[in-house]
């Protein structure tokens, strides 16, 4: 189990330090998520054909895509409350971006809402539980 904790710490620190993750295409994100799932499968002794979502679900952890979404929503939430006029201008431009609108819509929120990070986990949990128990 200590391997799991170690991998979690590495992944978390890597994501916090790597702003380039926020500009990845959906294909690149899915590929990176697949690599992370492969690592989890190896740590827990799962086979390639077994779902990575099941591992995350059983460990009560989110996959990489949902984790990145959580960081994005948290970042935009903090930006929304900033007193810095340059950041406010940037946020105003970002609010007009389709990708940002899709991100908020995915979690049933409006752009600019302060989204509770728990919602991101609950959405992931919903999708994972539906796949596992079908």
Task: Pick the closest to residue 37 from 58, 57, 27, 51 (CA basis).
Answer: 51
Average pLDDT value for residue range 97-118: 80
pLDDT confidence band for 18 (50 / 70 / 90): low
CA atoms within 13 A on the CB side of 12: 8
pLDDT at 117 over 70: yes
Residue 2 is predicted with a pLDDT of 46
- Mean pLDDT in the chain? 76
Average pLDDT value for residue range 52-79: 80
- Containing domain of residue 14, as a range? 2-132
Domain count, the chain: 1
Residue, of 74 and 8, whose pLDDT is higher = 74
Average pLDDT value for residue range 7-34: 68
């Amino acid at each position: 189990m200590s391997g799991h904790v170690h991998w979690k710490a590495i992944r978390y620190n890597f994501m916090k330090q790597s702003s380039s993750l926020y500009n990845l295409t959906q294909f690149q994100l899915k590929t990176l998520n697949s690599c992370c799932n492969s690592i989890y499968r190896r740590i827990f002794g799962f086979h390639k054909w077994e779902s990575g979502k099941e591992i995350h679900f059983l460990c009560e952890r989110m996959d990489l895509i949902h984790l990145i979404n959580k960081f994005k929503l948290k970042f935009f939430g903090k930006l929304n409350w900033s007193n810095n006029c340059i950041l406010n201008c940037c946020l105003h431009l970002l609010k007009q971006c389709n990708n940002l609108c899709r991100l908020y819509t995915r979690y049933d929120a409006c752009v600019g809402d302060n989204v509770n990070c728990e919602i991101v986990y609950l959405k992931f949990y919903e999708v994972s539980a539906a796949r596992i128990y079908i």
